[in-house]
Amino acid sequence: MRPKKVVVLALHDELESAYPPLNVATGAASSEAEVILAFSRKGVNILKKNYTPVPSEGMEYLPKALKGFNAASIHDLLDIAVETGVKLYVVDLDIDNDADFIYPTEQVPIKWVLNEAASADLFLHF
Amino acid sequence: MTAKKVLYFVSLSSNVPYVLKEALEKAKNKNEVKVFFDLDGARALDQRYLNQLNRTHGTDLEFLLKTALDSGIKLYGCQMNVLIADGLVLVNGVEVAGVATFLETAYQADDVLSY
């Protein structure tokens, strides 16, 4: 059977917004899906080596709750994503040329991401 | 209009009232609707947080949740909810599910919307 194809687009870098795309991407990859995880707008910051996730206003309880649950960090999840075969991309119009990313990433136009999404079994953006 | 399978993924409790109202509209039009609640969104399914969230968002969430369930909308709380270390105290009728269930449901859905 053909593996499922999943495209996930991460648009935001706040703590509460960084977890869903990574969780879905790693979950899909763990079930043998072919997964494209693209980062655009503020989402590209998640890939930066110096990224520090900060919760939005009203979500200040979140870091403590995550710690209490012994949840994986965002960068841990990114490691798992890569280990499970998730392919990382950044939308090139959103890139700061001096960005220091934690993993080498391919730069692609948003049109490429949307074309991949059109042929995917599942497309999600967060 | 042809009925669709519609799936919502809600990770922010502030979006829950809007999502439930929209889900109810979809269900009224004979669509099959499921809503997954994750992270902060899952607090809306927990009986211990409902009153607090009602005050914050100015909505009777309990009524919305009950109406949704009575309308045949399936509501799922994330199995691995990191916010509630001692587990969710779920509103009656709500089920727990993990990412695998979410993905299987999402593959079958016509529309998948995240909030």
CATH number of the domain enclosing B47: 3.40.1260.10
Q: Is A80 left (phi over 0), alpha (psi -120 to 50) or beta?
A: alpha
Judge whether B89 is closer than 8 Å to chain A, CB to CB: no
Helix axes A74-83, A15-30, angle to 10 degrees: 20
Query: Quick one: how far is CA B10 from the chain centroid?
Result: 7
User: What is the C-alpha to C-alpha distance for residues A39 and A9, in angstroms, rounded to an integer?
Assistant: 6
Q: Which residues is A101 bridged to in the sheet?
A: A48
Q: Are A126 and A12 a contacting pair, CB within 8 Å? A: yes
Query: Closest partner residue to B40 among A4, A31, A59, by Cβ?
Result: A59
Q: How far is B106 from chain A (nearest CA, A)?
A: 7
Segment B71-96, tens digit of pLDDT: 999 999 887 665 655 667 888 899 88
Q: Is the pLDDT of residue A7 over 90?
A: yes
Task: Spell out which residues of chain B touch residue A117, defining contact as CB-CB under 8 Å.
Answer: none
Query: Closest partner residue to A16 among B39, B84, B106, by Cβ?
Result: B39
Q: CA of B104: which chain A residue's CA is closest?
A: A28
Number of alpha carbons in the 13 Å side-chain half-sphere of residue A74: 27
pLDDT at A43: 95
pLDDT at B1: 63
Segment B23-82, tens digit of pLDDT: 999 999 999 999 999 988 888 888 887 877 777 777 888 899 999 999 999 999 887 665
Q: Which segment of A2-6, A97-101, B17-21, B111-115 scores lowest on mean pLDDT?
A: A97-101
User: What is the C-alpha to C-alpha distance for residues A62 and A64, in angstroms, rounded to an integer?
Assistant: 5
User: What is the C-alpha to C-alpha distance for residues A53 and A74, in angstroms, rounded to an integer?
Assistant: 8
More confident residue, B52 or B99: B99
Q: Is the pLDDT of residue A50 over 70?
A: yes
pLDDT at B87: 67
Q: Which domains does chain A have, with CATH numbers?
A: 5-125 (3.40.1260.10)
Reported pTM: 0.91
Decide if B40 and A122 are in contact by the 8 Å CB cutoff: no
For chain B, how many structural domains are there in total? 1
